[in-house]
């Protein structure tokens, strides 16, 4: 009992917590509990900005918001990998602006009040964010206040919230852009160059001289120079900021690629002969391509000859434009087989400008409304007004409330809108798409030329199950020999003769290894594993089997001194070599007043440069910065030096100093503006470093 009492007294709180967690595990769903614990762990943070956490959940919500904004802004819901990256970058920049930049701008005394915002949105000083947004353009392609006002009214009544999301984004962007504008103005105007300094700079820059000099090379074999470990450590301590490092890993890996065997390719060649005959006889080409398993689905795109050549091959382009109505021969490129059939020929535009009024699929009044709009248009009705009155989805990505889809190309056309490319200019018609009915008007078109519509039967020889199993067996044998250790991995490399690839200093953003992309799985393994370990088989895209081994681990912080000691040693030795050489040269030329005598004493020769200027604008012959700096301040007609450069030591004499006028006040002004632009570009990088921003996005994407 005494023991139990002692436990209760000393460990009562800990026991209570354990019991509470045990009870919670019965009450709360385990997945919910795990999610809660993850939300509290910084391990699941996408980043940290100015001391504020950016959780994965918060970041993904912002990504979803910017995805909606992108759909409305572009009129397309198609998102390739590049678009997704741009959206994530925009979401991250939004956090940087809100958590860091605007806070810093406010701390500097900058404000954007409601009256100013109204003026930027509705007044006489329209923000470029609004003015340059194509969603607010009229038929002439320029900003239209009426179109913008119509959008704002529709956003307020939008029940789906999509247009309101875009409207909030526009307002936020206008405010943020104004903060940047004011901060840059504050930064630029705080840097003032008095005219007397500008005049001095112009005068010095316009000065040219002729210089004769004797270059004396360093004695790299100088054995008197000794760099101690203490000197290396002292240098490292004094320059530690220069040795910041991001977390990285050194790995070695082998990769077994699943490639079709000769038998696999031969079978595909035989299949293509059969499919070519069936393709020629097929009455429904679209269905045939689906049933035959073509890698290239049927497309109603109209191609120019150059586009066909670029998307497929010059052989296919030549065949399509040859006028033949038959199917082509079988074209083979490596393991890829193609057969093409020309489906149509017409003079077509490459892109069209389209505006439409949308009636959602399933609306029982869609046909009646479309007929009513067509009737009003024939009477001369206003298209934008009819769009605002009749459009079913004022928050659609195509923004029917504005009555405009904008420019649509053969490449980025929306499904169902293909007839727009053959439609007459400014003649409305009713179009059925997968989304519903549209009253459409094509107002402009470009790149009109002869184009072909083609069907391409495309199949790539793939590895059979037997081939894939054989490849996996090789990878499995290697992994078995490796046994999960680096030592075993190296042993497996020796015994199997497989080439081992080295990948040093990979970061959490690394996603490609060799020619294999989408391989983030390997990076994640490397950052979770311990040094000296080897992986099991890592399968990428079902075509590559990787086995990796982790050799070295570097965490965020500073590179250890032992890893940079050799570089520091060379830096210190070089500095001492410069001092020693300068000292020896000074002793040799003491009392000499002639460069030829200097050259003889140093066992060198005299070189010369004419018209040396101190401005790039003057077309200056290249001189080392240290040498050029010494020349700029040296007296004329005297032996000067020695001056240590990076390549050698210089002893020199100036003559023929002249003042020109090639560098003007306009040049000085342009240079100042360039510096101001550079300073503006450095605002976010400098703030990011000062705020200790941590960007963990590569860990998740």
pLDDT bin (cut points 50, 70, 90) of residue 271 is very high
Of 662, 650, 600, the C-alpha closest to 624 is: 650
Residue 701 clears pLDDT 90, i.e. is over it: no
93-98 LR contacts (CB < 8 Å, sep 24+) = 94/62, 94/66, 94/172, 95/47, 95/49, 95/54, 95/59, 95/62, 96/49, 96/684, 96/688, 96/693, 97/176
What is the side-by-side strand order in the sheet with 45-49? Answer: 52-55, 45-49, 694-695
Residue 351 CB coordination number (10 Å): 19
In tens, the pLDDT along 134-145 reads 888 887 778 999
Which residues, in sequence order, are bridge partners of residue 431?
438
- In this prediction the pTM is 0.65
Residue partners of 122: CB distance under 8 A and separation at least 6: 149
pLDDT at 615: 63
Which residues, in sequence order, are bridge partners of residue 452?
303, 345
pLDDT at 613: 80
Phi, psi for residue 105 in degrees, rounded to 5: -65, -40
pLDDT at 396: 40
In tens, the pLDDT along 636-693 reads 999 998 999 998 999 999 998 887 777 777 777 777 777 777 888 899 999 999 999 9
Give burial (CB, 10 Å; 0-12/13-18/19+) of 52.
Answer: middle
Residue 327 clears pLDDT 70, i.e. is over it: yes
Is residue 156 within 8 A of residue 396, CB to CB? The reply is no
Residue 21 clears pLDDT 60, i.e. is over it: no
pLDDT at 160: 83
Residue 48 clears pLDDT 50, i.e. is over it: yes
Rounded to the nearest integer, the mean pLDDT of the chain is 87
Report d(CA 136, CA 72) in Å as an integer. 12
In tens, the pLDDT along 639-649 reads 998 999 998 99
In tens, the pLDDT along 494-538 reads 999 999 999 999 999 999 999 898 899 999 999 999 999 999 999
Residue 41 clears pLDDT 70, i.e. is over it: no
pLDDT bin (cut points 50, 70, 90) of residue 75 is confident
pLDDT at 633: 85
Is residue 617 within 8 A of residue 662, CB to CB? The reply is yes
Return the minimum-mean-pLDDT range out of 35-44, 73-82, 85-94, 100-109. Answer: 35-44
pLDDT at 647: 84
Q: In which residue are the tokens 């075509």 written?
A: 543
Domains of the chain: 1-40 (no CATH), 108-189 (no CATH), 207-220+569-659 (3.10.50), 247-259+464-555 (3.10.50), 262-348 (no CATH), 351-446 (3.10.50.40)
Is residue 157 within 8 A of residue 657, CB to CB? The reply is no
Residue 397 clears pLDDT 50, i.e. is over it: no
Provide the H-helix boundaries in 212-284: 229-238, 262-281
Handedness of CA 408, 413, 417, 423 (dihedral sign): positive
Residue partners of 677: CB distance under 8 A and separation at least 6: none
Return the minimum-mean-pLDDT range out of 385-399, 575-589, 592-606, 651-665. Answer: 385-399
Return the minimum-mean-pLDDT range out of 112-126, 233-247, 429-443, 587-601. Answer: 429-443
pLDDT bin (cut points 50, 70, 90) of residue 398 is very low
Angular region, 214: left φ>0, alpha ψ -120 to 50, beta rest:
beta
- Give me 469's structure tokens: 């199993």
Residue 612 clears pLDDT 70, i.e. is over it: yes
Q: In which residue are the tokens 């032992």 written?
A: 562
Residue partners of 426: CB distance under 8 A and separation at least 6: 441, 442, 443
pLDDT at 8: 52
Residue 399 clears pLDDT 50, i.e. is over it: no
Q: How far is CA 303 from CA 308, 312, 452, 456, 504, in A?
A: 6, 11, 5, 12, 45
pLDDT at 216: 94
Residue 318 clears pLDDT 70, i.e. is over it: yes
Residue 198 clears pLDDT 80, i.e. is over it: no
């Amino acid at each position: 009992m005494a023991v139990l009492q002692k436990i209760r007294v000393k460990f009562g709180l800990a026991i209570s917590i354990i019991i509470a967690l045990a009870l919670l595990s019965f009450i709360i769903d385990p997945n919910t509990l795990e999610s809660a614990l993850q939300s509290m762990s910084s391990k699941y943070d996408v980043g940290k900005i100015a001391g504020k956490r950016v959780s994965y959940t918060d970041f993904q919500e912002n990504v979803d918001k910017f995805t909606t904004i992108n759909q409305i802004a572009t009129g397309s819901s198609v998102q390739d990998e590049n678009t997704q990256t741009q959206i994530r970058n925009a979401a991250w920049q939004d956090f940087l602006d809100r958590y860091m930049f605007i806070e810093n701008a406010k701390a500097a005394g900058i404000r954007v009040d409601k009256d100013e915002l109204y003026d930027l949105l509705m007044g006489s000083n329209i923000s470029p964010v609004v003015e340059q947004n194509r969603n607010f353009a009229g038929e002439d392609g320029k900003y239209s206040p009426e179109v913008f006002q119509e959008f704002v009214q529709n956003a307020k009544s939008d029940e789906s919230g999509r247009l309101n999301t875009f409207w909030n984004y526009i307002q936020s962007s206008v405010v943020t852009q104004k903060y940047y504008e004011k901060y840059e103005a504050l930064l630029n105007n705080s840097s003032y160059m008095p005219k007397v300094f500008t005049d001095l700079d112009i005068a010095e820059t316009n000065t040219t001289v002729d210089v004769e000099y004797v270059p004396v090379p360093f004695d790299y074999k100088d054995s008197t120079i000794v760099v101690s470990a203490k000197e290396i450590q002292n240098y490292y301590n004094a320059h530690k900021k220069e040795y910041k490092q991001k977390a990285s890993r050194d790995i070695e890996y082998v990769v077994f690629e699943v490639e079709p065997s000769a038998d696999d390719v031969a079978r595909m060649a035989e299949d293509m002969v059969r499919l070519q005959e069936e393709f020629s006889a097929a009455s429904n080409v679209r269905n045939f391509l689906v049933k035959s398993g073509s890698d290239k689905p049927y497309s109603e795109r109209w191609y120019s000859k150059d586009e066909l050549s670029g998307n497929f091959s010059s052989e296919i382009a030549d065949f399509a434009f040859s006028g033949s109505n038959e199917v082509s021969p079988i074209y083979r490129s490596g393991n890829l087989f193609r057969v093409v059939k020309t489906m149509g020929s017409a003079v077509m535009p490459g892109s069209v400008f389209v505006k439409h009024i949308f009636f959602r699929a399933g609306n029982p009044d869609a046909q009646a409304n479309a007929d009513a709009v067509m009737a009003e248009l024939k009477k001369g009705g206003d298209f934008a007004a009819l769009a605002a009155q009749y459009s079913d989805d004022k928050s659609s990505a195509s923004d029917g409330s504005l009555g405009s889809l904008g420019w649509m190309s053969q490449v980025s056309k929306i499904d169902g809108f293909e007839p727009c490319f053959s439609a007459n200019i400014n003649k409305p018609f009713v179009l059925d798409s997968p989304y519903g009915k549209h009253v459409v008007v094509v107002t402009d078109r470009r790149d009109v030329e002869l184009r072909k519509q083609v069907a391409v039967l495309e199949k790539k020889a793939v590895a059979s199950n037997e081939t894939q199993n054989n490849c996996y067996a090789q990878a499995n044998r290697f992994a078995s020999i490796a046994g999960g250790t680096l030592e075993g991995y190296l042993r497996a490399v020796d015994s199997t003769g497989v080439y081992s690839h080295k990948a040093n200093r990979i970061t959490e953003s690394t996603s490609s290894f060799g020619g294999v992309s989408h391989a983030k799985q390997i990076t994640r393994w490397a950052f979770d594993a311990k040094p000296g370990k080897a992986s099991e088989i890592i399968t990428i895209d079902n075509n590559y089997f990787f086995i990796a081994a982790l050799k070295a681990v570097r965490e965020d912080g500073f590179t250890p001194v032992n890893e940079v000691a050799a570089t520091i040693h060379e830096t210190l030795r070089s500095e001492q070599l410069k001092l020693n050489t300068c000292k020896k040269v000074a002793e040799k030329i003491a009392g000499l007043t002639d460069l030829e005598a200097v050259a003889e004493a140093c066992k060198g020769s005299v070189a010369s440069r004419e018209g040396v200027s101190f401005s790039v604008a003057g077309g200056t012959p290249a001189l080392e910065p240290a040498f050029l700096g010494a020349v700029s301040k040296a007296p004329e007609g005297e032996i000067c030096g020695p001056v240590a450069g990076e390549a050698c030591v210089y002893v020199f004499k100036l003559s023929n100093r002249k003042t020109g006028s090639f560098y003007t006040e306009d040049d000085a002004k342009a240079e100042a503006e360039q510096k101001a632009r550079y300073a503006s570009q450095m605002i976010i990088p400098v703030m990011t470093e000062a705020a200790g921003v941590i960007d963990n996005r590569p860990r998740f994407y």
